Structure 1
């Protein structure tokens, strides 16, 4: 029988326990990546290009691209602006 490692065990072995510097860096990068994917999916569903989204929100295409690739941290107010003003959708946040 093979040993099965759950995802949390894998993260601990690679990045350490939660609330350590290396784990915090991983977690923040993971969040940026997830937010980027959600923005990209919403943009594509709205049939907008990165250029159109940038123009509508007063940002640059390169900034949109960095967000979508998870390479840029983003403030919630900026993310909300991209979603609401740029895509005409509403941003809902929940804590679970």
Structure 2
């Protein structure tokens, strides 16, 4: 296995080998999970900046602490309305989207 990995020179090549080329089902699933994780990390960072616990944030939006935990760990596929509620009402921040 080590010899096989010596031929991988870029992170993209690693992803291609492990999850398949861009556009394949396995690669798409990986990319969706990676984005969910990144969004969760952003929410966690903003929650900490607001000096809130997961339980306090959950209380502000009428959710359970376990729900906030699942979002922050990238294990929950949340709706846009929930994301909006978390950011705007829970954290008191504004949300902007950029499509590239």
Mark the runs of 5 or more structure 1 residues left unpaired by the alignment.
none
- Match for residue 90 of structure 1 among 87, 94, 97: 94
Larger relative contact order (Cα-Cα within 8 Å, sequence gap ≥ 6): 1
Deviations 1:29-55 (A, max 9, x none): 101100000000000000011111100
In the alignment, structure 1 residue 31 sits paired with structure 2 residue 48: no
Change (3 A) 1:24 1:5: same
The alpha carbon displacement at 1:4 in A equals 6.3
More divergent stretch after superposition (5-14 vs 25-34): 5-14
TM-score of the two chains, using structure 2 as the length reference: 0.89
Secondary structure in 1 matching 2:32: helix
In the alignment, structure 1 residue 65 sits paired with structure 2 residue 65: no
Distance, in Å, in 2 between the alignment partners of 1:77 and 1:6 is 37
Aligned residues: 95
In the alignment, structure 1 residue 45 sits paired with structure 2 residue 70: no
Mark the runs of 5 or more structure 2 residues left unpaired by the alignment.
1-5
Distance, in Å, in 1 between the alignment partners of 2:50 and 2:30 is 30
Compare CA radii of gyration and give the structure with the larger one.
Answer: 2
The alpha carbon displacement at 1:16 in A equals 0.3
